[in-house]
Amino acid sequence: MISTFLAALNSLIVALRSGGVWHRCQRFYGLPILIRQPGARLEIGRRVVALSKPRLNEIGLIQPVVFSLLTPEAVIHIDDDAGLSGCTLSARREIRVGQGTMIGSGVLIMDHDAHALPLPGTHGSVAVKPVHIGREVFIGARAIILKGVTIGDHAVIGAGAVVTHDVPAHHVAVGNPARVVPPETE
Ligand SMILES: CC(C)(COP(=O)(O)OP(=O)(O)OC[C@H]1O[C@@H](n2cnc3c(N)ncnc32)[C@H](O)[C@@H]1OP(=O)(O)O)[C@@H](O)C(=O)NCCC(=O)NCCS
């Protein structure tokens, strides 16, 4: 009862600090870390649950939830009923997470490379490409979703996968670099 109240209070604190809309049905167990440039938008839907306390996840958490919005244009949108367990979402432009999607412990999702890499064509700027994750996607523990990736509805991302390319809806992708597992044939 008290923890439910505190979880609703934590979500209110995040909404106040991010300038976002608060829904009383959100539950944030433990306070997430919020890094936000003025103007950046953190949009969190109804009934979203975020776990930032190690004991609340059956495999433990290695970190609190981190929302990192690094430019004034950045948007992180998390749709209704999504669940986040001690993961990082870091946006310079846009990360969208669909309704009912579950993001596992230690997952890292970023729409940028964080540093200007000395690659041909980058001109000293940080590469940025939006990340879109569909509805009811399951992202296993410690997976990494890199810039420019779109993951279709109901896809499953295996634990520890490094996802560098799109994953179609209703498919499973595993490994580093993540590859789609061929559907079983009878
Ligand atoms: C992705 C996952 C759900 C797939 O389970 P599954 O459908 O039972 O898949 P299978 O065990 O039949 O494996 C299918 C193939 O993918 C491989 N595979 C499965 N998971 C893998 C992973 N995480 N990394 C690399 N390869 C993996 C298997 O070795 C197998 O390959 P093969 O056909 O060459 O032998 C599961 O393996 C997984 O990663 N579970 C972890 C979930 C998790 O992180 N939960 C905690 C969240 S906080």
Tokens of 22: 């608060």
Q: Is residue 60 part of a domain?
A: yes
Distance in angstroms (rounded) separating the CA atoms of residues 142 and 128? 22
pLDDT at 25: 95
If you average pLDDT over every residue of the chain, what do you get? 93
Q: Is residue 94 part of a domain?
A: yes
**Using CA of residue 34, residue 37, residue 38, residue 43, what is the dihedral sign?**
negative
The residue nearest atom 39 of ligand 1, judged by CA position, is 158
Q: Is residue 37 part of a domain?
A: yes
DSSP 23: -
Q: pLDDT by residue (tens digit) across 55-102?
A: 888 898 999 999 999 999 999 999 999 999 999 999 999 999 999 999
User: What atom in ligand 1 is closest to the CA of residue 107?
Assistant: 48
CATH of the domain at 168: 2.160.10.10
Q: Is residue 95 part of a domain?
A: yes
Pocket test for ligand 1, best of 151, 172, 176 (most atoms within 8 A of CB): 172
Q: Is residue 89 part of a domain?
A: yes
The response to whether residue 10 sits with its C-beta less than 6 Å from ligand 1 reads: no
Least confident of 79-83, 123-127, 135-139: 123-127
Q: pLDDT by residue (tens digit) across 17-29?
A: 998 889 999 999 9
pLDDT at 80: 98
User: What atom in ligand 1 is closest to the CA of residue 157?
Assistant: 1
Domain that holds residue 36: 2-181
The response to whether residue 106 sits with its C-beta less than 6 Å from ligand 1 reads: no
> Average pLDDT, stretch 116-142?
87
Radius of gyration for the chain, computed over Cα atoms and rounded to the nearest angstrom: 16
pLDDT at 121: 66
Q: Is residue 35 part of a domain?
A: yes
Q: Is residue 186 part of a domain?
A: no
The pLDDT > 90 percentage for the chain reads 82
The response to whether residue 83 sits with its C-beta less than 6 Å from ligand 1 reads: no
Cα 70 to ligand 1 centroid, rounded to whole Å: 33
Cα 141 to ligand 1 centroid, rounded to whole Å: 11
pLDDT band at 186 (very low <50, low <70, confident <90, very high): low
Domain count for the chain: 1
The pLDDT of residue 183 is above 90: no
User: What atom in ligand 1 is closest to the CA of residue 140?
Assistant: 44
The pLDDT of residue 3 is above 90: no
DSSP 20: -
Q: Is residue 91 part of a domain?
A: yes
The response to whether residue 100 sits with its C-beta less than 6 Å from ligand 1 reads: no
